[in-house]
Chain A
Amino acid sequence: MKIASRTARPSAAFFLAAALTIIWSGAAWGKSTPIDDSGTQALEPALSLRWQSPRPSRSGGDNLMVGTTTIRVRVNVLPWIRRSGRIYLVLPAQPPGPVSASWVTQGRFMPGQVRSGNRVLVYAGPITTPFMEDVFKFQFSVDGNLVQRAFPLTYRFEMDEG
C-alpha cells in the first residue's frame, strides 16, 4: 500500500503542474496590446509616391510606386516597465490594396519590412524606460494601378508581453 501511495502522488502533481504551465503560457504570449504612440511625429510633411521605374515595359506590369518618409517614433511602454516584451509593427490590410513597407532605424528598434495584413518584430527584450524612441526611415511601395488619389495609411505598434 505504501509503495502504491507514493507512486500515485507524483503523478497527480505532474498533471497539475503541466496544466498550470499551459494556462500561464496562453495568457502571456497570446495577448497583443496596442501601444500608445501618440508622441510620434513625422519629420517630413508629406509622403510622395513616385514611379520606381520611370518607364514601363513592353508588356506592362512594371507599375510599382514608391515613397519615403522619416518618422520619429515615440511609444509609451510604461505599462510594461521592468518586464520583458516583444514589440511588433503592425501594418493592417487596408484600402487601396496591398502595400509594402521597409525601414531602417537608428538602433533602438530593429529594421525590417512588412506587407499589409502582417506584423513584424521590431523589439524584444526588457522594458527599462517609460518611453522608447527611434527614427524610422520608411519606404512604402504600392501598385500604381491602385492609386487613384492620395490615401491614408495606418500602422501601429503592439506589445506581446512575456
Chain B
Amino acid sequence: MSGSAAAYTLTLAPASPKTLYLQVGVGSFTANYNAGGQPGNNTTVNKVSATVAASAVGNGTPQAMSTDSTAAKSFLDGYAYCSVPGQLYIGGFYRTAGGTTAAAQVTATVPTALTNATGDTIPFSKIQWTSSGNGDSGAEPFPAGTFVNGGVQNVGAMASNTWNESCWTFSYLNNTVPPAGTFTGVVRYTMSSP
C-alpha cells in the first residue's frame, strides 16, 4: 500500500507588480497597447509657448499657447486624443497588485516665475490651462488649473490599474505689462504612488 496521501503546495508570489508610467508631452512605447507595446523612457522636455504682439501686451486678452509636442495619439490604443500643437498630452497608468484603492498623485514643481536674460520676471500664475480630450465626457483625471508662483502643486491623480489621460490647452493671461524679452521657466511633473 502507499504511504500517506498528500497534496502539493506551491507558493505564488507577485513579482514586480507595481508599475508607474507618466507621459507629459511626447512619450515612448514600443507599440500601442493593442499590439502588446511596452513603455519606455523618453527624456524629451517639450515646450509650451506664446508670442505676444507688441500691440497686445497686457491688454487682458489671454494668449493661446502652443506646444512643440507631437503627441496627439494615446499609446493605449492609438486613438487621436489630443490636437497638436494646441494641446499637450498628459497621461499614464499606475499598476499595482492587491487592489490598492489609493490613487497615485501627479504633481508639478513650479518655479516662482519665468525669467528673461536680464532677470525680469513673469509670475508663473499668469499661465493657466483647460483640460479636455477628443471624445471625452465627464471629469478629467488631470483637470484645469493655474500654476502656483513657486512650489509643488497637485495636477491630477491616477486610480490604480486604470489608464488616465487628458489634453491640456495652455494660455498666458496677459494682464500685466512686463519688459520685452523671452521669458522661460521649466515645470517638472512627478508621479508618486502610495
Min distance, Cβ B19 to any Cβ of chain A, angstroms? 7
| B2, A154: Cβ atoms closer than 8 Å | no
B residues 91-146 in Cβ contact with A at 8 Å:
93, 95, 97-99
Q: Is B3 an interface residue (CB 8 A)?
A: yes
Q: Is B17 an interface residue (CB 8 A)?
A: yes
| B14, A54: Cβ atoms closer than 8 Å | no
Q: Is B161 an interface residue (CB 8 A)?
A: yes
Q: Is A7 an interface residue (CB 8 A)?
A: no
Q: How far is the CA of A63 from the CA of B98 in the complex (A)?
A: 10
Contact of A55 among B1, B12, B33 (CB under 8 A): B33
With A38-B3, A42-B10, A76-B2 already in contact, the answer to whether A60 and B15 are too (CB < 8 A) is: no
| B97, A48: Cβ atoms closer than 8 Å | no
Q: Is B38 an interface residue (CB 8 A)?
A: yes
With CB as the reference atom, state the residue of chain A lying closest to B76.
A58
Contact of A69 among B1, B10, B97 (CB under 8 A): B10
With A78-B2, A145-B99, A156-B6 already in contact, the answer to whether A54 and B39 are too (CB < 8 A) is: yes
Q: How far is the CA of A144 from the CA of B16 in the complex (A)?
A: 12
Min distance, Cβ B27 to any Cβ of chain A, angstroms? 12
Q: Is A11 an interface residue (CB 8 A)?
A: no
* The stretch of A17-25, A29-37, A105-113 that contacts the partner chain: A29-37
Q: How large is the interface on B (under 10, 10 to 19, 20 to 34, 35 or more residues)?
A: 20 to 34
Max chain A Cβ within 10 angstroms of own Cβ: one of B3, B4, B13: B13
| B159, A60: Cβ atoms closer than 8 Å | yes
B residues 14-42 in Cβ contact with A at 8 Å:
14-17, 19, 21, 33, 37-39
Q: How far is the CA of A76 from the CA of B1 in the complex (A)?
A: 9
With A144-B97, A145-B99, A147-B98 already in contact, the answer to whether A57 and B3 are too (CB < 8 A) is: no
| A150, B76: Cβ atoms closer than 8 Å | no
| A145, B97: Cβ atoms closer than 8 Å | yes
Q: Is B55 an interface residue (CB 8 A)?
A: no
Contact of A37 among B8, B97, B98 (CB under 8 A): B8
Q: Is B9 an interface residue (CB 8 A)?
A: yes
| A76, B3: Cβ atoms closer than 8 Å | yes
With CB as the reference atom, state the residue of chain A lying closest to B21.
A55
With CB as the reference atom, state the residue of chain B lying closest to A144.
B97
A residues 66-102 in Cβ contact with B at 8 Å:
67, 69, 71, 73, 76-79
Q: Is B5 an interface residue (CB 8 A)?
A: yes
* Chain B residues positioned under 8 Å from A59 (CB to CB): 162
Min distance, Cβ B7 to any Cβ of chain A, angstroms? 4
Q: Is A148 an interface residue (CB 8 A)?
A: yes
With A38-B6, A145-B98 already in contact, the answer to whether A47 and B19 are too (CB < 8 A) is: no
With CB as the reference atom, state the residue of chain A lying closest to B10.
A153
Q: Is A146 an interface residue (CB 8 A)?
A: yes
Q: How far is the CA of A77 from the CA of B11 in the complex (A)?
A: 26
| A153, B97: Cβ atoms closer than 8 Å | no
User: What 4 A-B pairs have minimum CB-CB distances, sorted nearest first?
Assistant: A48-B15, A145-B99, A34-B5, A150-B13
Chosen A-B contacts, 8 in total, with CB atoms closer than 8 Å, are A34-B6, A56-B161, A60-B162, A71-B10, A149-B14, A149-B98, A152-B12, A155-B8
| A interface with B by C-beta (< 8 Å) | 33-38, 40, 42, 46-51, 53-63, 65, 67, 69, 71, 73, 76-79, 140, 142, 144-156
